[in-house]
Amino acid sequence: MNKIKTFNVCIAGLGTVGSNVIDDLINNHEIIVKKINAEFKILAISAKNKSKKRIFDISKYQWKDDPFELVKNDKCDIFIELIGEEKGLSFDLVKKALENHIHVITANKAMLSKYGNELFEIAEKNNVLLLFEAAIAGGIPIVKVIKQSIFLNKIKKISGILNGTTNFILSEMGKKKLSFKEILGKAQQNGYAEINPANDVDGVDSAHKLSLLSTLCFGSTINFDNVTYKGITNIDIEDIKNAEKLGYKIKLISESEIIDNKIMSVVEPKLIPNESQLANIDGVLNGVKIETDHLQSLVLKGEGAGGQATSSSIFSDLYEIALDTKSPSLGYAINKLIDYKKLDLSNKSESYYLRILVKDISGVLAKITSNLNEEGISIETILQTPDKNGSQEQIPIIIVTHETKKRLLSKALTKIEKLDFVLDNIAVITIDKSIN
Ligand code: HSE
């Protein structure tokens, strides 16, 4: 048997994921050596708070108060960044590591989606890898599937549920009829949510991931600004119940494709048919669907967040480094990336779910429908459910439109919101019947 190859690993950031990685490296040492005749040895670690209680014994490792000592160490082969700042310390450490010819593994989608172009270029120049399987969809090995297994397919479209926290919240709202806030607290306790949970619920985290997936799928320059995003904070429990009545589920859907040589990347809550595959991905699970010239529908489903799942993706990157395949971090060489322009979405045709809270007086429905008709918007279904709140009688009117252009809908809704019997902003959610 050949001599075991040792990779010295330094880790910065010892929260849920970092601690799990160390614990797993200890527990799986034997199996790793047996499978690949290599070992990943923890050379040194660093985190903000040394005295925090952790699932492993920190006294077994060299502790560095200054994390820059990790990336200046010429014995370090692999630096794992799990601090998670969008720029600041995370960026400076990763940059320094790459410049010092150290491979980097990170779960930091925020940093890569904003500053990835610069960092991947430095990695390529210095002949090291900057790997990020853990940054997208937790434990689902989506990066490697795209940049290795199906890289030579022509990818037409990618869509999916990329955020465990919001999927957990939407699923629990439907199941337990609990408030948005109560459930968010649970997701935070389970360690799914981002440092700033607004990034999850506002759709930013999904948008970070989608911008990276677009690069992997279409060879586009990383451009977070090309993603249009909207979160789930305005989704009311009533919307979830109405969607159910209409045969749909509400999911935070991320999708990207190239249309007319422009990029369309959108994250938004959507009503999708109950029987579709993505509708049945619940809880903290994520799911990704890819359509290519060879594959009508490749769906990967799995744990999208949490220490154990994310640690599995970090292990997959450790293995990629050990394999020494010499393939680029993004699949594409940097000079092959294309700077696609963003597609104008105002002319995109879609169906919409509308919830309009009105005073319960006669003639209301006729006025609303005539405003929609003026913009050529035809109605597929109307639901009217009594909902008597407070002293004044008010009812929500639920309307499902046929396909219409976004700009026409906006025009009609601006007029409807000005009608004096309309009591609140109109809730608008896109319906996607084509997702299967
Ligand atoms: N906050 C993220 C999520 C963690 O909820 O999906 C995994 O990226």
Nearest CA owner, ligand 1 atom 4 = 305
Helices (H) and strands (E) in the chain, counts: 14, 18
* Closest ligand 1 atom to Cα of 166: 5
- For the segment 194-198, the average pLDDT, to the nearest whole number, is 82
Class of domain 345-431 (CATH, top level): alpha beta
Residue 183 has pLDDT above 90, yes or no: no
Which two three-digit tokens encode residue 408? 């026409």
DSSP code per residue over 118-171: HHHHHHHHTT--EE-GGGSSTT--HHHIIIIITTTS-EEEEEEE--HHHHHHHH
Query: CB-based burial of residue 80 (10 Å sphere; 0-12 exposed, 13-18 middle, 19+ buried)?
Result: buried
Does residue 123 have a pLDDT over 70? yes
Q: How far is the CA of 75 from the centre of ligand 1 (A)?
A: 32
The separation between CA 382 and the C-alpha centre of its own chain, rounded to angstroms, equals 33
Q: Which of 20, 82, 113, 192, when mutated, tests ligand 1's pocket best, judged by the most ligand atoms within 8 Å of its CB?
A: 192
pLDDT bracket for residue 392 (50, 70, 90): low
State if pTM tops 0.85: yes
* Closest residue by Cα to residue 356 from 398, 305, 385, 402: 398
Q: Can you give the length of the chain in residues?
A: 436
Q: How many whole angstroms separate alpha carbon 181 and alpha carbon 204? A: 18
Predicted confidence band of residue 70 (pLDDT cuts 50, 70, 90): very high
Candidate of 200, 213, 314 to mutate for ligand 1, largest count of ligand atoms within 8 Å of Cβ:
200
- Residue 385 confidence class, pLDDT cut points 50, 70, 90: confident
Domain boundaries, the chain: 5-131, 149-302+334-342, 345-431
Q: Distance between CA atoms of 244 and 110, rounded to whole angstroms?
A: 34
State the average pLDDT over residues 97-114.
98
Average pLDDT over every residue of 401-413: 97
Give percent of the chain with pLDDT exceeding 70.
98
CA pair distance 179, 245, nearest whole angstrom: 20
pLDDT per residue over 133-161, tens digit each? 999 999 999 999 999 999 999 999 999 99
The CATH superfamily of 5-131 is: NAD(P)-binding Rossmann-like Domain (3.40.50.720)
Residue ranges around ligand 1 (CB below 6 Å): 138, 163-165, 192-194, 200, 205, 304-305
Using the mean position of ligand 1's atoms as its centre, give its distance from the Cα of residue 410 in Å.
32
pLDDT per position as a tens digit, 233-280:
999 999 999 999 999 999 999 999 999 999 999 999 999 999 999 999
Cα–ligand 1 centroid distance for 143 (angstroms)? 16
- Distance from CA of residue 203 to its chain's centroid? 8
Q: What is the pLDDT of residue 391?
A: 43
Give the model's pLDDT for residue 205.
97
Pairing state between β 262-273 and 248-259: antiparallel
For residue 206, give the ligand 1 atom closest to its CA: 6
Spatial CA neighbour of 13 closest among 129, 94, 74: 94
CA–centroid distance, 213 to ligand 1, in Å, is 15
CATH number for the segment(s) 149-302+334-342: 3.30.360.10
Specify the pLDDT at position 182: 76
Closest residue by CA, ligand 1 atom 7: 305
Rounded distance from Cα 201 to ligand 1 centre (Å): 10
Q: Which atom of ligand 1 is nearest to the CA of 163?
A: 6
Specify the range with the lowest mean pLDDT, choosing from 86-90, 278-282, 313-317, 386-390. Answer: 386-390
Residue 436, classified by CB atoms within 10 Å of its CB into exposed (0-12), middle (13-18) or buried (19+), is middle
